[in-house]
């Protein structure tokens, strides 16, 4: 088990004074079978006139924020502590069944699970199931090979075919942009993975969260130097949702903290909204700190 | 113009006369009156058109980026429905809307309809107007589509059926009301002699229904009608309805959310708004949640609505069932939610994403009407027997590429109604859009907006595509006033369900 | 946050946006009528004066503070009149003003009487006559008269049928301010040109010119009834300060103040009106008639536009978002 303290601060600096700001944040971590949330809080500066947090259609925590105090700096900070225990999925028998079998077993799911799965099966606004995506997926699809091999192969291919290049894409980039530029960031990789998994007939989610990172050898870990992360999760009947990370070419383990999931980025946008001002530039900065802590009640072994 | 009806004949079911050219029940007086008028009918038509221009009744037409105000096209010859048939129709609409509202409430909450296998989950997820942002909300009374307009057509056998439902922001009701004003002036004599059911109680009922939605019961509710603005094609209607129900005609920029409560900006300060009759599409309602570039809505509106601080009519997401694929399941919804048989049948519909349906559709493209699942106003509709080979090939590709987005229906020979065309009375195809107000006391407009395809043989009734309109008279056939010139047996029209075995849904 | 203000039958809720439109409907209506009258009276003056007088059409352009666009080659009579009457690209033209009336009355439909709708359409139709009838002297007079008559009829209908509520106040205030503005501009240019240093050629006709000035703001008759001779001082005093004739600057400002009193939070706007009032009071017409009338008129215009600014910030774009209780 791992326990993490996560601090995620989003800061907007405005050139001209903003009279009011209305937005929503999807920054508080959700609970799942692999993750228990010990504490979580969202703070906003200046003090919001109104703030409420609700559970959205996917079970994520979404906060509505209304700030009406004139400001030139808006700071949204989410802090949380979570415990994570993830199974080693390669040892689950279900993932060793064939892709065809996994797909077939979807129809045998309980009604509620089946309905939940259906929403992640089709194209969504940021994940088209077009020829480009289908053809890319085809190279990994072998119907009678274990579904685990399919997922691993797909993850590997995305990782090697595309370079990690934060200058290649933006938050609004499409999968087509990723293909065109040959590079992108975790968001783009995750979208492509989700698209390929869906075009193979498997339900797939886009997951937002964090990954514990380590400083280069011999250097101290710097506060706030982490980043928010995104990956894909695919439903394998009998094994549950399997999280795979094409950006780092690995399956998610205890170092992955989940914030939210949805059909794609648009369902889990960290912060979005509108401001009222007389124009001018906005400067955005994000600082993330994922800090491993030793739980009080647990003795180090 | 001919002063009698010799020569008038329709290739299909005609609303005014039967196959022998005799007026149908309830139509006798109008039939006679039109014959008596002779050429003077043309004068009445001109008078009506002058009236419309002077009253400034317009709709806005968009062509190549510019907009033009066009006078509302009306045909003075009314469309008549007998009261007994109307009772059946309005009962059927109430039943339909009750089921549809239960469906919408269900899909945004428990989703039993999906869990119980009535509707495949995927079709719901793919509905362009399914808004996950609305999940978990329970609008008062479980009503989402407070104001709806379903389009009804009558086929060659005389069967009335539902062609589509409009649950988002149905328009046209002002024209229904204006048409009545006009025809009252043009046919004052007939209104004196016949028992034509009044319809002007619609706006009163609308106002009452909206008032009841107010979250505050200690004050007189403040109602606002949210319009996209003066350049919207239905702006005339927005202004007219707002005036008649005593609502404030507001634009997005007039609204401001303060502490999760919606206010409008007035010269005397902010005034709280309790109910918003919105005529702005979902995606433009709240830039903080939907399209952030929208200036037509108000930031924070969705949160205020979710918190129950303001009522929105129609509720966001109510358009989920406008999807024509979901439409094809409405008879199943009626059975599922109400445990009743639908009174008004659907038009038989093939769903292209179902392989056997698709196969049938692709093999019979030239004898079907194909429609995109999520368009309105007749956009993208291809009528098989009027399309070129090229158009059909294009359609075939579209259906094969994105079958979920296509449905097909048989080409209906819509019923006709006599219409004044260049001084001659000729049969023209029509439909009917009644308006339903849903609440614990549902209300159906008495009649509705009859739209008429003014071009000969055309089946397209949309005003944006050369359609006109008629006043719709609900006439009591059981009362036979002595004043009538002729006495006839009330040979009541038998309403039959078309059990042609072709209905795939 | 505790409640907000409630509507009452005497005090129906008026949206800021609708108030702004009512105000601009008033301004544009007055502008269209005023411009038509101005062109008409100038045409008459030009016909009356000998060519040698050198009175051109430029002064009219100066009144509205506009210049001919590149689409016009020369400052001919036809070009100037076309620009002022028919040019949709000129924000001060009759056509543009009527477009403004049409648009703003559509916005204010809910607070405007239904009887006005037909007239607005009629006015719009006259204004958009394809033939550009103002350009030709033979058709100009009739067209301008039609415009003026339609504007006046519309004003009269609105005056007689509109409830005297906030919307009516804004409409009336808009009309009065536009009127005051126009009278000031006419003074500035028309009279200024004539009183300062009349050219020798024009000297014998100054009386005619003054009469034309009065006529262009529809006050010649009223002035003559006073039985005073049309000296520059008497005319100036009349145009600025007479408080019986409805188009003098003073009358307009007084009338605007009267309607401002009906509105909430009117302090700043009323103060701005009072400033114009004292400005007029302090005017030394003897001095102005031979001195810096131009500078005076400029300052007066600024003072009048200050009232507009106050109205704008108080009611149309209030900076505060506080909920009133």
Where does residue B376 rank: exposed (0-12), middle (13-18), buried (19+ CB within 10 A)? Answer: middle
Tell me whether B497 touches chain C (CB under 8 Å): no
Q: Please, are residues B96 and B492 in contact by the beta-carbon 8 Å criterion?
A: no
CATH level 2 (architecture), domain A87-267: Roll (3.10)
- B426-to-B103, B155, B160, B399 alpha-carbon distances in Å: 42, 18, 22, 37
For an interface test with B, the pick among C109, C114, C316 (most B C-beta atoms closer than 10 Å) comes out as C109
In a domain, C1, yes or no: no
Q: Where do the structural domains in chain A lie, given as residue ranges?
A: 2-83+269-292, 87-267
**Number of domains into which chain C is organized:** 1
* Ranges of H-type helices in chain A: 99-105, 111-118, 131-138, 147-161, 175-181, 186-199
The 3-state secondary structure of B232-299, one letter per residue? CCCHHHHHHHHHHHCCEEECHHHEEEECCEEEEEECCEEEECCEEEECCCHHHCCCCCCCCCCCCCCC
Interface of B with A (CB under 8 A): 111, 114-117, 120-122, 125-126, 132-133, 135-136, 257-260, 287-289, 292, 299-300, 303, 306-307, 404
Predicted local confidence at residue B331, as pLDDT: 97
Predicted local confidence at residue C5, as pLDDT: 52
In a domain, C88, yes or no: yes
- Decide: helix, strand or coil at residue C239: helix
Q: What are residue A259's phi and psi, to 5 degrees? A: -95, -55
Query: Residue A9 belongs to what H/E stretch?
Result: strand A2-28
Tell me whether A277 touches chain C (CB under 8 Å): no
A-to-B residue pairs, Cβ atoms closer than 8 angstroms: 70
Per-residue pLDDT of chain B (505 residues; tens, 9 = 90+): 444 566 788 889 999 998 888 889 888 888 888 888 888 888 888 888 888 877 666 665 554 445 556 667 889 999 999 999 999 999 999 999 999 999 999 999 999 999 999 998 888 888 888 999 999 999 999 999 999 999 999 998 999 999 999 999 888 899 899 899 888 988 888 888 788 999 989 999 999 999 999 999 889 999 999 999 988 888 889 988 998 999 999 999 999 999 999 999 999 889 999 999 999 999 999 999 998 888 899 999 999 999 999 999 999 999 998 999 999 999 999 999 999 999 999 999 999 999 999 999 999 999 999 999 887 767 888 999 889 999 999 999 999 888 888 999 999 889 999 998 888 889 999 999 999 999 999 999 999 999 999 888 888 787 666 788 999 999 887 544 444 444 334 444 433 333 343 444 4
Cβ contacts of B259 on chain C, cutoff 8 Å: 1
Q: Considering only residues 281 to 300 of chain A, which have any Cβ-Cβ distance to chain B shorter than 8 Å?
A: none
Where does residue B5 rank: exposed (0-12), middle (13-18), buried (19+ CB within 10 A)? Answer: middle
Q: Considering only residues 220 to 259 of chain B, which have any Cβ-Cβ distance to chain C shorter than 8 Å?
A: 220, 222, 230, 235, 239, 242-243, 248-251, 253-254, 256, 258-259
Pick from A185-189, B495-499, C64-68, C230-234: least confident: B495-499
- Segment C164-198, tens digit of pLDDT: 889 999 999 999 999 999 999 888 776 655 554 55
In a domain, C281, yes or no: yes
The rounded percent of chain A whose pLDDT value lies above 70 is 97
In a domain, C200, yes or no: yes
Cβ contacts of B214 on chain C, cutoff 8 Å: none
pLDDT-derived band at C272 (thresholds 50, 70, 90) equals very high
Section A124-136 average pLDDT: 92
Predicted local confidence at residue B430, as pLDDT: 95
* β-pair partners for A64: A24, A52
CA–CA gap between residue B382 and residue B394 (Å, rounded): 10
Tell me whether C2 touches chain A (CB under 8 Å): no
CA–CA gap between residue C191 and residue C216 (Å, rounded): 11
C1, C13, C120 member nearest B266 (Cβ): C13
The rounded percent of chain A whose pLDDT value lies above 90 is 75
Q: Which residue has the higher pLDDT, A50 or C127?
A: A50
CA–CA gap between residue C168 and residue C18 (Å, rounded): 11
Smallest CA–CA distance from A62 into chain B, residue = B133
Determine the topology of domain A2-83+269-292 in CATH.
Immunoglobulin-like (2.60.40)
Predicted local confidence at residue B464, as pLDDT: 67
**Which residues 6+ apart lie within 8 Å of B269 measured at CB?**
C4, C5, C264, C322, C323, C324
Q: Domains of chain B (ranges plus CATH)? A: 94-146+196-338 (3.40.50.11290), 350-410 (3.30.1490.270)
Do B265 and C315 count as a contact with CB atoms less than 8 A apart? no
Q: Please, are residues B30 and B190 in contact by the beta-carbon 8 Å criterion?
A: yes
Do B265 and C318 count as a contact with CB atoms less than 8 A apart? yes
Task: State both tokens at B187.
Answer: 């046919």
Q: Please, are residues C167 and C216 in contact by the beta-carbon 8 Å criterion?
A: no
Do B299 and A56 count as a contact with CB atoms less than 8 A apart? no
CA–CA gap between residue C257 and residue C266 (Å, rounded): 9
In a domain, C307, yes or no: yes
Query: Residue C24 belongs to what H/E stretch?
Result: helix C16-48
Give the count of beta carbons closer than 10 Å to the beta carbon of residue A159: 18
Predicted local confidence at residue A176, as pLDDT: 94
Tell me whether B266 touches chain C (CB under 8 Å): yes
Average pLDDT, rounded, for chain C: 83
Is the peptide bond prior to B236 cis by the omega test (within 30 degrees of 0)? no
Task: State both tokens at C278.
Answer: 């004292």
Examine the pLDDT at A241 and tell me if it is beyond 90.
yes
Do B254 and C16 count as a contact with CB atoms less than 8 A apart? yes
How many separate helices (H) and strands (E) can be counted in chain A? 6, 14
Task: State both tokens at A128.
Answer: 């088209």
Q: What are residue B222's phi and psi, to 5 degrees? A: -100, 120
**Which residues 6+ apart lie within 8 Å of B453 measured at CB?**
B414, B428, B429, B430, B459, B460, B461, B466, B467
Q: How many CA atoms lie within 13 A of A53 on its CB side?
A: 16
DSSP B24: P
Predicted local confidence at residue B502, as pLDDT: 42
Tell me whether A19 touches chain C (CB under 8 Å): yes
Q: What are residue B366's phi and psi, to 5 degrees? A: -75, -10
Smallest CA–CA distance from A53 into chain B, residue = B303
């Amino acid at each position: 088990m791992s326990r993490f303290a996560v601090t995620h601060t989003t800061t907007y600096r405005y050139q001209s004074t903003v009279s009011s700001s209305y937005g929503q944040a999807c920054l508080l971590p959700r609970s799942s079978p692999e993750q228990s949330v010990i504490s979580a809080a969202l703070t906003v500066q200046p003090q919001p006139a109104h703030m409420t947090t609700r559970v959205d259609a996917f079970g994520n925590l979404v906060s509505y924020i209304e700030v009406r105090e004139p400001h030139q700096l808006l700071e949204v900070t989410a802090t949380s502590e979570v415990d994570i225990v993830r199974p080693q999925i390669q040892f689950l028998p279900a993932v060793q069944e064939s892709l065809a079998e996994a797909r077939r077993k979807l129809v045998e799911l309980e009604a509620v699970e089946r309905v939940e799965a259906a929403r992640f099966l089709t194209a969504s606004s940021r994940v088209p199931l077009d020829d480009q995506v289908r053809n890319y997926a085809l190279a990994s699809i072998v119907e009678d090979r274990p579904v685990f091999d399919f997922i691993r192969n797909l993850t590997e291919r995305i990782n090697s075919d595309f370079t990690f290049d934060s200058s290649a894409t933006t938050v609004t980039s499409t999968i087509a942009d990723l293909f065109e530029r040959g590079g992108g960031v975790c968001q783009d990789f995750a979208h492509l993975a989700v698209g390929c998994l869906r075009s193979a007939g498997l339900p797939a989610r886009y997951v937002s969260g964090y990954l514990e990172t380590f400083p280069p050898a011999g250097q101290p870990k710097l506060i706030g130097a982490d980043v928010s992360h995104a990956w894909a999760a695919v439903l394998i009947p009998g094994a549950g949702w399997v999280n795979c990370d094409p950006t780092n070419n690995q399956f998610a383990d205890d170092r992955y903290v989940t914030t939210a999931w949805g059909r794609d980025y648009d369902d889990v946008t960290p912060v979005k909204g509108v401001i009222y001002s007389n124009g001018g530039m906005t400067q955005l900065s994000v600082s993330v700190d994922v800090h491993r802590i030793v739980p009080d009640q647990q003795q180090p072994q | 113009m001919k002063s009698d009806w010799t020569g008038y004949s329709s290739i299909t079911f005609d609303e005014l006369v039967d196959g022998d050219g005799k007026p149908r029940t309830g139509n006798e007086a109008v039939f006679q009156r039109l014959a008596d008028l002779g050429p003077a009918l043309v004068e009445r038509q001109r008078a009506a058109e002058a009236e419309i221009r002077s009253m400034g009744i317009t709709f806005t037409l968009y062509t190549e980026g510019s907009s033009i105000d066009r006078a509302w096209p009306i045909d003075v010859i009314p469309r008549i429905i007998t009261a007994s048939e109307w009772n059946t129709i309005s009962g059927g609409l109430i039943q339909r809307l009750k089921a549809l509202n239960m469906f919408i409430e269900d899909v945004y909450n428990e989703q039993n309809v999906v869990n119980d296998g009535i509707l495949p989950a995927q079709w719901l997820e793919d509905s362009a107007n399914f808004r996950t942002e609305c999940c978990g909300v329970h609008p008062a009374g479980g009503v989402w589509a407070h104001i709806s307009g379903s389009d009804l057509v009558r086929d060659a056998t005389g069967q009335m059926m539902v062609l589509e439902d409009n649950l988002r922001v149905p328009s046209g009701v002002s024209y229904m009301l204006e048409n009545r004003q006009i025809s009252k002036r043009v046919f004052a004599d007939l209104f004196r002699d016949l028992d034509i059911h009044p319809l002007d109680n619609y706006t009163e009922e609308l106002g009452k229904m909206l008032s009841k939605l107010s979250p505050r019961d200690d004050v007189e509710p403040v109602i606002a009608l949210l319009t996209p603005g003066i350049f919207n094609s239905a702006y005339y209607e927005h202004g007219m309805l707002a005036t008649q129900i005593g609502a404030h005609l507001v634009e997005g920029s007039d609204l401001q959310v303060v502490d999760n409560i919606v206010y409008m900006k007035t010269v005397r300060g902010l005034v709280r708004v309790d109910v918003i009759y919105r005529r702005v599409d979902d995606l433009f309602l709240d830039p903080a949640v939907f399209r952030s570039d929208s200036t037509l809505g108000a930031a924070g509106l969705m949160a205020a609505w979710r918190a129950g601080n303001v009522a929105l009519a129609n509720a966001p997401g109510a358009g989920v069932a406008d999807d024509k694929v979901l439409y094809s399941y409405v008879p199943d919804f009626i059975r599922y939610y109400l445990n009743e048989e639908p009174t008004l049948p659907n038009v038989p519909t093939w769903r292209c994403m179902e392989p056997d349906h698709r196969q049938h559709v692709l093999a019979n493209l030239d004898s079907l009407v194909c429609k995109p699942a999520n368009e309105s106003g007749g956009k993208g509709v291809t009528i098989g027997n009027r399309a070129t080979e090229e158009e059909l090939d294009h359609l075939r590709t579209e259906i094969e590429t994105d079958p979920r987005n296509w449905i097909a229906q048989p080409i209906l020979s819509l019923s006709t109604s006599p219409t004044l065309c260049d001084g001659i009375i000729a049969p023209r195809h029509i439909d009917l859009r009644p308006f339903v107000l849903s609440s614990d006391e549902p209300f159906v407009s008495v009649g509705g907006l009859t739209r008429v395809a003014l071009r000969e043989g055309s089946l397209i009734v949309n005003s944006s595509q050369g359609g006109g309109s008629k006043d719709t008279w609900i006439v009591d056939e059981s009362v036979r006033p002595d004043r009538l010139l002729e006495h006839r047996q009330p040979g009541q029209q038998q309403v039959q369900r078309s059990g042609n075995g072709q209905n795939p849904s | 946050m505790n409640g907000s203000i409630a509507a009452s039958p005497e005090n129906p809720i008026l949206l800021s946006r609708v108030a702004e439109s009512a105000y601009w409907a008033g301004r544009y209506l007055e502008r269209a009528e005023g411009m038509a009258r101005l062109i008409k009276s100038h045409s008459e003056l030009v016909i009356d004066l000998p060519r040698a007088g050198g009175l051109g059409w430029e002064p009219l352009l100066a009144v509205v503070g506009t210049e001919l666009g590149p689409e016009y080659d020369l400052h001919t009579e036809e070009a100037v009149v076309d620009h002022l009457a028919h040019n949709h690209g000129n924000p001060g033209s009759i056509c543009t003003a009527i477009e403004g009336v049409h648009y703003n009355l559509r916005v204010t439909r809910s607070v405007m009487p239904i009887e006005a709708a037909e007239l607005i359409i009629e006015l719009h139709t006259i204004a958009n006559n394809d033939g550009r009838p103002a350009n030709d002297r033979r058709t100009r007079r009739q067209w301008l008269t039609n415009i003026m008559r339609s504007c006046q009829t519309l004003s009269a209908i609105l005056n007689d049928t509109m409830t005297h509520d906030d919307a009516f106040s804004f409409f009336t205030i808009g009309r009065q301010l536009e009127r005051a503005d126009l009278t000031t501009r006419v003074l500035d240019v028309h009279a200024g040109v004539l009183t300062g240093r009349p050219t020798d050629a024009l000297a014998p006709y100054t009386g005619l010119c003054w009469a034309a000035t009065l006529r262009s703001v529809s006050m010649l008759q009223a002035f003559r009834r006073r039985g005073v001779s049309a000296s520059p001082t008497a005319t100036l005093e009349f145009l600025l300060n007479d408080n019986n004739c409805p188009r003098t600057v003073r009358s307009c400002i007084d009338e605007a103040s009267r309607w401002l009193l009906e509105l909430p939070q009117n302090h700043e706007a009323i103060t701005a009106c009072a400033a114009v009032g004292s400005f007029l009071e302090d005017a030394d017409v003897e001095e102005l008639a031979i001195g810096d009338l131009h500078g005076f008129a400029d300052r007066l215009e600024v003072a009048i536009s200050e009232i507009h600014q106050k109205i704008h910030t108080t009611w149309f774009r209030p900076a505060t978002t506080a909920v009133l209780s």
